[in-house]
Each structure stands twice: as structure tokens, then as C-alpha cells.
Copies of this chain bind each other. A is one copy, B any other.
Amino acid sequence: MALRLSTLFLRTLREDPVDAEVASHRLLARGGYIRRVAPGGFAWLPLGMIVLRNIEAIVREEMNAIGGQEVLFPALLPREPYEATGRWEEYGDNLFRVKDRKDADHLLAPTHEEVFTLLVKDLYSSYKDLPTILYQIQTKYRDEARPRAGLIRTREFIMKDSYSFDVDDDGLAESYRLHRAAYVRIFERLGLEVVAVSADSGAMGGSRSEEFLFPTAIGEDTFVRSPGGYAANVEAVTTVVPEAVPYDDAPAAVVRNTPASPTIESLVRQSQELHPREDREWTAADTLKNVVLKITRPDGEHVLVAVGLPGDRNVDIKRLEVSIGDALEIQGEIEVEQASDDDLRSRPLIVKGYLGPGLNLGEPLLGEKSVTGIPYFVDPRVVEGTRWVTGANVSGQHVYDLVAGRDFTWDGTIECAQVLPGDPAPDGSGPLEAARGIEMGHVFALGRKYAEVLGLKVLDQNGKQVVVTMGSYGFGVTRAVAALAEAYHDDKGLIWPRAVAPADIHVVATGKGAEFMAEAEKIVEELEAQGLKVLFDDRAKVSPGVRFGDFELLGVPTMLVVGRGLADGMLELKDRATGEARDVRRDGVGPEVAAAIRG
């Protein structure tokens, strides 16, 4: 049955909604696909429903193709399992918490790891039952601080979430690979060019995680990429380690008074005269900046650490938070902040602004843990033989030609510095550039965390109980609609890819009279007989201009105009994306249009 504009629950809008910040929101609202009904809450109108269901169908097919089995959980879940894994607290304000009439705590689940784990525990007990992949396409909730950008960040949204259950690491790797491949196929079918971004460096105990980002300036996630195809979250970028430098001929370290050098820039400027370098001018990258940081461990205890990094870049707290756990052998979530004056009061040997690494100049210095008790880590660029300008641990003095490995040592190397545009990609694929994107999907080799806490074990081949290892895989269905609208539009409206379009063909009848309309109806029937889904502009008293404008706004890929040419047995077929038009004969229009559409 054709969708008919005369009765379709739809009013296209000429004006942008005042609250629409981004193109997808603007055009989906103007085209009557969605309607905002609450902060971060949208109603899907009939055309929007079709696009949504088309996407769901593709996701479902690809999940089924990798052996996924569809289930459906409640969104409203009891607190207990989320309490057990710590997520009841961890989610903080992002979680909608609900009390029932008996004052029992519930939540509107943002994701379902806990209950899937318990379900599999409930039904399965042997390695023979595994591997298993379960998924649902379901409404999720997040109490966003700032719902924004239309469908991109809402408080209620549809996601496909799946979970894999394997008996060992190889199994998990295979389930992960299957999901990753399925996601690649889904994005291909949707026509959405995404970037698979490593979400962490792999340093966190062998787990693996990638985000599929749709690159766009309006994205909320930042990442870096190279011309050669490398892409990663900034947190996951590993620094390319320079080779060690021979230092037999390096000049000896020397301390200088540097009275007017409060900043790296002023230090560099002053150094050109005060202690000129033999081969070239000093740059900020030659200075070694040392920073004391306060680490809050998962148990709430504080630890101080110092990090040394080239002075042309700042400490990246987020990168540090990811890498510091391994360096200090701490499990769990770690918070990092710059140490305050208060934190340093009990450590008078730390001279603010003139902090240097351990150094054999007869002074008690930072690098010697016996004195300060503070571990000292350096950026990977600090390799043996590199020469640095750095603080002398005496107010108003810096030291020059301090050679790493000769004049100071460190407790470890750590990713602590900003990634800057132009930095080399770790895989040698060229210089990195910063980019923004929308997270469309996430594949995550979870490992045994949830199974451990919730007691999901199976008997292995030797009759021994083993903890199951899991993966968790999310795909944002709601968000995919937004990303497609961002990717496929022009200033006149939407241009849907065929795979998700609300119809195959948009038929516009520009003539009048009962006879003319009867013929248009017949043409629609002939198109439908070919299995085409038709959106039929059968409205009375609407000008051709409005009709064509609505075609461009609504974004069905192809239009068939039934107009004046009908008298001569001709119709016009027009492509929304290219604007190209060509005549087609009235006779045999069904097969002809079907062939044109199906390529």
C-alpha cells in the first residue's frame, strides 16, 4: 500500500525548528520524521518509523548471520546485580534510578551486561553450550546532563546490544572478530563510512575495544587519524619511540642562573643567548617539563608521582589515567590531577617551577626515591642519550645538556603527554590529525569481569569449573538515523541511501482532474506490482513547487513525475542525489523504473 501524502501523518515545515543545532535534527524535524516531545525525547512519526525499522532489519540480519539469537529484556531492572558489579554507583548521575511502590530500587538500564550474564548462568552449565551470542534491539536510557544535537544525544534511544559468552580467550577473540566483521557489513549496507577507532591501547590486561565513529565536525568524540588509515582515541595512541642517541661526545651538564624564565617560551628564548646549542637553536621540545601529580587510587588513597615530558606539550590527564594503572600496578579506576600546593607542603625539596629529574650535582633530587619517595616516570620520547634543558631543583636555576641515562634515570616510561597534530601514527602510516566523530558502535572484549563477580562458570572439557569470558557490543540504532541524515543531505533536504529510505520511489502527480488522477493511481499500482515501495503525493490543491520542495526535503532517492507529458505517454524520472532527470515511457513504466532503481 502506497504511502499517500494526502493522509500521511506528516506536515513538512518550511522553517527550521528553533532548537535544532545540527543538520540532521533540522531536516528530520522539517521532513516530519521526528518530533521533539521532551528534553532529549523524540517521537518517531510514520516516515521516521520506516527508516528506523529499515535500519533495525539490517542490524538484525547481520546479527543473525553471525549466529546471534534475539531476546528481549525489561528496561526496568532491579538494583542488585548492578550493585554487585559496582555500576549502580559508577554510573553516577547518568543513571535513571526508580523506586517502586515498596521503595525498592530499580534502574532504567543503559546497558545490560549484568542481566545477560545472569541469564546465561541460569540456563547454561557446560563448555558444550558455548559459544553463544545473544542480542536485543531495545530502548535504553541515560540521564544526560545535556541532551543535544537532536537524535545524537538523547535520554531514551534504541540500541542493539549483544553479548558473547566463550569458554576461553580464543573463543572471545573469535566472537569479537565476528562482531567486528558484522559491524563493518552493517555500516557498508547502511552506506555509512565510519572509522574503527582503537578505544584503548591494549595495555589494560589484554582486553580489546574499538569504537566505530562516524567522522563529522559535530561529533562529540575526538580521535586522531593518519592518511594511511590509522585511527584511535587519543587515549589509545602510543608514542613512536625515537632511537637512543649516542652521547659519548655530548657536553657535560651545566647549571645556569635563569632569573627571568617563568614559562617554557621565556626559557627557550633566554637559552639561545645564555647557553647556545652548537647545532641549532633550542626549541620547546628540548626542554624537559616535570610535573607532580596526585593519583587517587580506587580505594581512595592518594599517591604522588612525577612525570617528565618534552616542554612543547602538556600532560594529558586522560591518557595518563589510562596508562598509570599498569605503571603503578593498580587495578581499577584511577583519578589523576595536578598536585596542589597543599599536596606538596610536606615536600620542601620540590621547588616549584624549577623541578628537575634525579641529577648528580650533589643536591638531593626528585629522581632519588629515597629522598622524595615520589616515583618518576618519563614520556617515551625521553630515551637514553637525549639532551634536555630542565629545572635544577634550585629556585632561579636551570640545567643544560642534561643527558638521559647519563645524568638522570627514571622509574618507568609512561604515556602522559598530549598527542599533537603532526605526531607520527604508531603504525607508520603518516602524521596524525585531530578529528571528531559520533560513536555509532562499540565492540568490547570484556573478559571475565562480569562473569567473575556474578559467578558465571561452566564445566570445561576436564570437568573443571571455569569462569566464562564475555564480549559486549553496542550499536546505536537511533543514532544511525541521525548519522545517515548528517551524511546524506544537501541544503534542500535529505537524500536517503536506498537501503534505509522510507520509500523506493516518490510519485508526484502534477496534473488535475479525475481522469488524470485515475491514471496516476494506475501508475502507482504498476510500480507496486514490481515490489516497489511508493510514496505518492496525491494531495489536491498543492502547487508543483511545494510538491517538488517536499520531494527534496523528504529525500526518497528517486522521483517519478506524472505531469503534462502524460498526454504524450511520457513521464519523468529524477534522481534526488544528482538532480538528473530523464524521460520514461508511460507504457511499461513499472519494469523500467524497477530496473532503474535496482540498477
Contact = CB atoms under 8 A, between A and B. Distances in A.
Interface of A: 1, 7-11, 32, 35, 37-39, 41-46, 48-49, 52, 64, 67, 69-78, 93, 96-98, 100-101, 106, 108, 115, 118-119, 122-124, 132, 134, 139, 141, 143, 145, 155-156
A38 B77 contact: yes
A64 B98 contact: no
B9 A71 contact: yes
A141 B76 CA distance: 9
A69 B39 CA distance: 24
B98 A93 contact: no
A11 B93 contact: no
Contacts of A70: 46, 49
Nearest to A73: B43
A123 B73 contact: no
A34 to B, nearest CB: 10
B74 A11 contact: no
Given A37-B115, A45-B71, 14 more contacts: A1-B64, A8-B69, A9-B69, A43-B71, A43-B72, A43-B73, A43-B115, A44-B73, A49-B72, A74-B155, A76-B141, A93-B101, A96-B100, A139-B139
Contacts of A9: 69, 71, 123, 132, 134
Contacts of A98: 96-98, 108
16 contacts: A1-B64, A9-B69, A9-B132, A9-B134, A37-B118, A39-B78, A43-B115, A43-B119, A45-B71, A46-B71, A52-B72, A74-B156, A96-B98, A96-B100, A98-B98, A139-B139
Given A71-B44, A101-B145, A132-B9, A35 B76 contact: no
A56 to B, nearest CB: 11
Contacts of A38: 74, 76-78, 106
Nearest to A101: B93
A43 B74 CA distance: 6
Contacts of A132: 9
Contacts of A73: 37, 43-44
Contacts of A45: 71
Nearest to A123: B11
A52 B41 CA distance: 26
Contact of A41 (B35, B41, B74, B143): B74
A155 B49 contact: no
Main secondary structure of the interface of A (DSSP, over half): mixed
A147 to B, nearest CB: 10
Contacts of A10: 123
Contact of A139 (B8, B39, B75, B115): B75
Contacts of A96: 76, 98, 100
A100 B7 CA distance: 37
A124 to B, nearest CB: 7
A509 to B, nearest CB: 19
B78 A49 contact: no
A448 B74 CA distance: 34
A212 B76 CA distance: 28
Nearest to A115: B37
A118 B139 CA distance: 22
B76 A119 contact: no
A49 to B, nearest CB: 5
Contacts of A115: 37, 43
A156 B75 contact: yes
B100 A71 contact: no
CB-based closest 6 A-B pairs: A41-B74, A44-B72, A93-B101, A74-B156, A46-B69, A11-B123
A517 to B, nearest CB: 17
A93 B104 CA distance: 13
A44 B135 CA distance: 11
A74 B42 contact: yes
A1 B66 CA distance: 12
A80 to B, nearest CB: 9
Contacts of A67: 7
A183 to B, nearest CB: 20
Nearest to A9: B69
Contacts of A52: 72
A46 B60 CA distance: 13
A156 B43 contact: no
A118 B99 CA distance: 28
A39 B43 CA distance: 29
Nearest to A133: B9
A71 B41 CA distance: 14
A478 to B, nearest CB: 10
A207 to B, nearest CB: 25
Nearest to A49: B70
Given A98-B108, A101-B145, A35 B69 contact: no
Nearest to A120: B9
Nearest to A38: B78
A99 to B, nearest CB: 8
Contacts of A93: 101
A46 B135 CA distance: 10
Contacts of A41: 74, 76-78
Contacts of A156: 74-76
Contacts of A42: 74
B37 A108 contact: no
Contacts of A35: 119, 122-123
A134 B41 CA distance: 19
